[in-house]
Chains A and B, each alone.
Chain A
C-alpha cells in the first residue's frame, strides 16, 4: 500500500487477535483424510504443458463468452417510470417479457391497456426482507423460435426500495446493464446476489471474479464500485403507449422532441453486428431523424397531416402522420452565439474512436462559426480545466482541439460547472448562450445526486444558458443521463457514431441546435369519440404530458430549433364503416424564446387526410411508416409480432426509391437488412 490507512494499526491489532483465537476444527485432518480420494493426474498434459494452457484458455474463453452472452438489465422504481397514471397501464415493459408467443400474441391483439399478464407475475422480494427466492420466469415457456427463446432466457423481478425493478439477462452481445436510474435507489448486495444467483440457477456459469462483477454491476448508483473497464450501458424502458378510447380520454398530449440519438445508437449497434437493446429504441427519434419533406411554414410552426390505411395490420386501422415544423434559418442569419463546449476527456473516451469523433465534430462546429460568435472549451476528467477561454479567434480554437487528451475518471459535474460559469462570464443578452456537453456519459466521480445537477442545469436554462448533449461511444454509454441533462437544459440530445454524424450534428445541423425558435413546445391531439373508436400514439412515451399540462406554461416540454420538424404517428381505429368529416384537432403550443409569451395554433384532422390506400400515400409517408414498423419490431411491441420484416423491406424499397437525395433512406434500408441477418426478427416472423 502506498499510504498507510489511518486505521491500519487498529485493524492489524484486531486481526492479530482473530488469528490467535480463530482455529480450524481440531478434527479437520481426521475428517478430511478418509475422503481424499484419487488425485487428478496431469498425465500427458504435464509433458505438453502448453496444451494444458491451451485447454485452460479455451475453458476460460468459453466461460467468458458465456458471461458476455449474459447481458444484465436492471429496471428500477416503477414509481419513476414516467407519466402513466397507473403503472399497470404500461402494457409491455413491466411484464411483457416472460410470455409465451401465444401470450405475446394475445397481448398484442388485445390492444394493450388492461392486458396484464398475471399468469407470469413475478415473485417479488421486498426491501428490508433481505434476499428471497426469485424464480426465473423465462426459459420455462415454450416458443417456436430459438432466438425468441434465447432473448428471454431470464427475468427476475425485485421490489427494491420504493419501486419495482426487473433484471433481465439478455444475449444482446455484451454485458449490458439497464436501469431506470433512480440515483436515490440502492440495491443492497444481498438483493443483487439473489438476482445473480437466480441467473446462475438458470444455467450460466461464471468464475468467482465474474460473479463479483455481476453483483457489482447490479448495485448501480454507486459508481465508484463499478470497475471502469466494465461495460455498462444505461437505457431505460419507457414502455409502449396503449390504445386509448377517446370516450375515456379524448386528449393525447406530449412534449415535442427533436432528438435523434436513439436512431444513431441503433445504427451503431447494428453496424457493429449487434441487435440493440429494445429499451434503446425511441420511435419518435427514429422518425424525426429523417426529413419528412414538409413545406416551409408561414408562421413559427406549420402543421401537416396525412396518412393511409395501416399497411401492417388487417384490423381496418389507419396510420396518421401529424407533423409540425419550423422555418429554416441559414447559418448566416442566425443570432451570434456564445458557445462553450464541455468535453469529456476521461479515460473511457480513449476507447475506439470516441475522442477522434469528438474532435472531428468540434472542428466541424468551428468551421461553421461566424464573426460575432465566441467559442470556449472546457475539458474534464477527475477535474475540469479550461482548454480554450471563450474567443473569436477560431484558428486558435481549432488548434486547441488537439489538447483534448483522455485520461482519468469522469467528473461531469465539475465539467458542467466550469462550462456554465464560462458561458455565464461571456453571457450575451442578444446572443444564443449555449453549452454543449460531449461525453460517453459515464458519471463516476463527484456528486452522485443527479437531482442537484439537473436542477442547477434547469436554473441556468431559465437564466438563458441552455445545454445540449452529444453522446459518443457505446460500451459504457449512459443514454438516460444524457437525455435528462438535455431535457433540463432546454437543449437537444444527439448521438454521434461516425465522423459523418459528428459533422452533421455539430456542423451542418448546428443552426437548428443554436437557433431555438420555440420553448416548451407541446402538441395536443383531441380525438372525437363519436368518430374514433381507439387511437394509439406511436412513441413519445417519455414525453407524455397530462392533458391539463398543455396550457400550463410552467411545465417543461421540448425546445425546437430552426428548421426542425417533429412528427408523431397515430394508429387510429374508426367507429363506423362509412366515415367522413373531421375526426379531431391538433393543437400546438409554445413559448417565444425571448418574451416567453405563449402562442397556440390549431388544425383540424379530416378523414380525407388519411382515409386512402397505403399505395397512394406520399413516398415520405410510406417510408416513415416503414421506419415506424422497424422500430416497433426492434422494441418488441407485441402488436407487431406478426409483422414480417420482408413486408417492411418491400414497402421500403418502393418508398425509398421515390425520395430524392435518398442516401439516408438507402442507409436505413441496409440497416433493416442487417437487422434481419442478425435475426432481430426471428421471433416475430
Chain B
C-alpha cells in the first residue's frame, strides 16, 4: 500500500489528519518507506523552513532536514503512538541543529551566505517588494536571541501550539510563552529602531 499525500491532504480536518497519521506511523514502524515518504512530504517544508529561519542558511537548513529525517526514520519504531508527530520531528530537528553546531562549531549564522542564497530565491518582478519585506523581517528575526527566535519560528511559522513547542524544545510552557513574548517585543523594538517604512507598519496598538 502506498500513501502519497498532496498538499491538499494536509488541509484535511485535524481528526482525519490524526487518524491518517497514526496509520502512517504504524506503517513506518513496520519499515514502509513509502509511508515515510508521505511524512517527509508533509513535514519537509515545515522542518526546512524552520531550520532556515533559525539559521538563515539554506545549505545548512537542507543538511539539517536531511539528517533529521534520517534520524527520524531510524528511531520511528520507538515513536509512541498517539503522541504528536510534528512536535517529535521538530524536536529531532532542533537537537540535530544543536549537536551539529556543537560538533562543527559553526557560527550561528553567516550573513554573507544568507544574503547570497536569499538572492538565489525565485521571484518575479512583482516579487521585489515582497522579498524586500521578507528580507527585513528575516534580518529582524536574526536580531533576537536564539531562544526567542526558536519559539517564534515554531509558533508562527510551524504553527505549533505552546504545549507542542514546549514538548519539542523541552522547555516549560511558561518559558515558551515568555520567550515568544520577549521575541515579539524585540521584533517590535527592532523595527522601531530601524525606522524603516514597512508595508505593515508596526505600531503599538
Contacts and interface: CB of A to CB of B under 8 A. Distances in A.
A22 B99 CA distance: 24
Interface residues of B, number: 63
A31 B133 contact: no
Contacts of B188: 6-7
B156 A35 contact: no
A32 interface: yes
B170 A207 contact: yes
Interface stretch (A114-122, A210-218, A302-310, A400-408): A210-218
B48 to A, nearest CB: 4
A225 interface: yes
Contacts of A208: 94-95, 98-99, 169-170
A6 to B, nearest CB: 4
Nearest to B138: A18
Contacts of B177: 1
Interface string A1-45: 100011110111111011101111100110111011111111000
Interface string A177-217: 00000000000011001100110110000011101100110
A613 interface: no
A190 B107 contact: yes
A5 B181 contact: yes
A193 B169 contact: no
A207 B170 CA distance: 9
Contact of B48 (A22, A42, A131, A133): A22
Interface of B: 29, 31, 33, 36-37, 40-41, 44-45, 47-49, 52-53, 62, 65-66, 69-70, 73-78, 94-95, 98-99, 101-102, 105, 107-108, 121, 130, 133-134, 137, 145-147, 152, 156-157, 162, 169-172, 175, 177, 180-182, 184, 187-188, 200, 202-205
B45 A23 contact: yes
A227 interface: yes
Nearest to A43: B77
Contacts of A35: 66, 70
Interface of A: 1, 5-8, 10-15, 17-19, 21-25, 28-29, 31-33, 35-42, 46, 52, 130-131, 133, 189-190, 193-194, 197-198, 200-201, 207-209, 211-212, 215-216, 219, 224-225, 227
Contact of B78 (A11, A32, A42, A131): A42
A32 B66 contact: yes
B55 to A, nearest CB: 12
Given A29-B40, A212-B147, A21 B121 contact: yes
Contact of A11 (B41, B145, B187): B187
B158 to A, nearest CB: 9
Contact of B156 (A12, A21, A37, A189): A12
A197 B106 CA distance: 9
B10 to A, nearest CB: 11
A12 B107 CA distance: 28
Given A39-B29, A40-B78, A208-B169, 6 more contacts: A28-B40, A39-B76, A52-B78, A193-B146, A197-B102, A216-B147
A659 B118 CA distance: 78
A21 B171 CA distance: 29
Nearest to A132: B107
A12 B121 CA distance: 21
B69 A32 contact: yes
Contacts of A131: 107-108
Question: Nearest 3 A-B pairs (CB), nearest first?
Answer: A24-B48, A24-B44, A22-B49
B184 A5 contact: yes
B66 A11 contact: no
Contact of B108 (A32, A193, A212): A193
A31 B48 CA distance: 14
A31 to B, nearest CB: 7
Given A25-B62, A29-B41, A18 B49 contact: yes
Contacts of A29: 37, 40-41, 44
Contacts of A219: 145
A194 B76 CA distance: 33
A579 B170 CA distance: 70
A24 B47 contact: yes
Given A7-B202, A32-B40, A208-B98, A22 B52 contact: yes
B171 A209 contact: yes
Nearest to B46: A19
Contacts of B200: 10, 13-14
Which of B33, B74, B78, B171 has the most C-beta atoms of chain A within 10 angstroms of its own C-beta? B78
A19 B77 CA distance: 30
B36 A36 contact: yes
A209 B45 contact: no
Which of B44, B47, B52, B162 has the most C-beta atoms of chain A within 10 angstroms of its own C-beta? B44
Contacts of A6: 184, 188, 203-205
A35 B180 CA distance: 36
Nearest to B58: A25
B176 to A, nearest CB: 10
Contacts of B102: 197, 200-201, 211
Contacts of B203: 6
12 contacts: A19-B157, A33-B37, A35-B66, A40-B75, A42-B78, A52-B78, A193-B101, A207-B95, A208-B95, A208-B99, A212-B169, A227-B172
B193 to A, nearest CB: 15
A226 to B, nearest CB: 11
B170 A14 contact: no
A197 B101 contact: yes
Nearest to B31: A39
Nearest to B162: A1
Which of A6, A46, A216 has the most C-beta atoms of chain B within 10 angstroms of its own C-beta? A6
Nearest to A193: B108
Contacts of B184: 5-8, 11
Contacts of B45: 19, 22-24
A518 to B, nearest CB: 48
Contacts of B107: 130-131, 190
B66 A10 contact: no
Contact of B137 (A14, A36, A39): A14
Contacts of B48: 22-25, 28
A215 B204 CA distance: 31
A227 B77 CA distance: 34
A39 B29 CA distance: 8
B73 A224 contact: no
A201 B202 contact: no
Given A17-B134, A33-B33, A197-B102, A190 B74 contact: no
Contacts of B98: 208, 211
Contacts of B130: 17
Contacts of B37: 29, 33
A24 B63 CA distance: 11
Nearest to A56: B78
A133 B104 CA distance: 11
B9 to A, nearest CB: 16
Contacts of A21: 121, 134
